Chain A
Amino acid sequence: MKNLYYFSLAFMIAALASNCEKEPPLITFEEVYVSPVYTQFVYRDTGQADYTYQEYRLGSFLNSDTPAYQWNEWDKITSRGPALLVDIKERSVWNTFYRFGLEFWAAPGEEEALWSEAHLKRMFEPGSVFSFGEGPGKVDLSFAHRDPDFFEDERSKATFLKQPTGRLSITQTEDYSYTPPGRETVSGVLVHCTFEGRIGQYDRFEGAWLDDFTTDTALEIREGKATFFIAYR
């Protein structure tokens, strides 16, 4: 019994000694998570000799003085059929500016439920190609390359051209999900793609806000690469 007492005494002394160890009065931990979505390309305006590099990267505002960009995606029914839209907006406390967007039309004859996992994986199967334009199996690419002076939305669009030229190729897809704290998990697919072509330039004096606006003035887009997220419906 005495041995047990001695052992306990030694244990208590060791415990007291261990409590003399220093610990910071405040332990801090910081972690940043950024979803891997981005868009980058070069473009050339009419009369320009050189291409200008443009990049929209999610979370870039954390490490640089670039604005905060936000990706939104939604679906709608258009006169050309059901369409899926992905757009990038520049966000600040006071303003929102449209910057870049893709509008995909579902190809006809697909049996799966619209925008379901099976449908999206079939629609964005690696190797598939969407021509610039409007209607089933096509994509309309839009890009607001100038800061708006009078209007919030001054996007140039592929479909502003009488004969849109260009294509978007799907290179890879992968399942992806994220869980906002305290909310349900959002599951979907990350779509990796490349694109290039010509888009019709917005003209604020020629009625570009009208539905039937067309132009021959084009912006050339090259070396486009993007990864965007679509949630399963």
Chain B
Amino acid sequence: MKASSLFILLVFLTTVGLFSQPLSFGLAPRLVAPITTDAQVGQGWGLEAWSKLEIGPGNGVKFKLGYQQIGDYNSAVETKHTYVFPDRTIIQTEFARIKGLETWYMDLSFWQFTWDIKSPWSFELGARYSFSTQARGRYELRQSLSFGSGRFSSGGFAEEMLRTQDFGLHLSGAFELFDGCLLEAQAYQGLLNQWKDFEDFEGPTLYVTTLSIGLAFRLF
């Protein structure tokens, strides 16, 4: 729902912009390589719709709305709480392992040609807000009550363990292959740990770091 609203906003801005400033609109599929903990390189992909507005000669701003899936993470936590109350003993075990992340994001960046307006090279510096982040991986919650009072377990990643938002910075370089098509390379660093904070101990960390490469096609 959020994503569709943002898409409408993007189209609206594009439409309004058409009558005021030089503006273009396009799509950019990407191959994404997340740098997981221990310097392993994972796999992923993304797709973004972009809108580019020229402010001055050779520079401007770019707004993007994208979706991304990244994988090959291996970050896990297991907690075991034993509660011995006067009339019952409860053992609660929670296990969660993040293998991948999928997220929507909005991106606002400043772009500029490197040397002059005729150069095929350009740079881009921007900030990204990720939302509706979901984890792929194993999740288990087991609670056993002593003395035959029952036991249950559940599957599905608990929202309580995952931060569903992120904020980060990215730096991109682009080369115009031909009119209307750019080859882009980007490095992104998220600033928020995607695991939520644990109250009683220092839990695992997963900061999103990605390198990506893609083609940006100008549609109009």
On A, residues with C-beta under 8 Å from B are: 1, 4-5, 8-9, 11-12, 15-16, 18-23, 25-35, 37, 58-59, 62, 68, 70-73, 91, 93, 178, 180-182, 186, 228-229
Contacts and interface: CB of A to CB of B under 8 A. Distances in A.
B86 A30 contact: no
A20 B82 contact: no
A8 B124 CA distance: 10
A180 B146 contact: no
Contact of A91 (B83, B143, B147): B147
A171 to B, nearest CB: 19
B78 A181 contact: no
A59 to B, nearest CB: 4
Interface of B: 35-39, 74-90, 92, 97, 112, 123, 125, 143, 146-148, 169, 171, 187, 189, 198, 200-205, 207, 209
Contacts of A1: 112
Contacts of B148: 93
Nearest to B198: A29
Given A5-B123, A15-B209, A70-B86, A29 B147 contact: no
A21 B169 CA distance: 20
Given A11-B189, A181-B81, 13 more contacts: A5-B123, A15-B207, A16-B35, A21-B38, A27-B202, A28-B79, A29-B80, A29-B198, A71-B87, A73-B87, A178-B85, A180-B85, A186-B85
Contacts of A71: 86-87
Contacts of B85: 35, 178, 180, 186
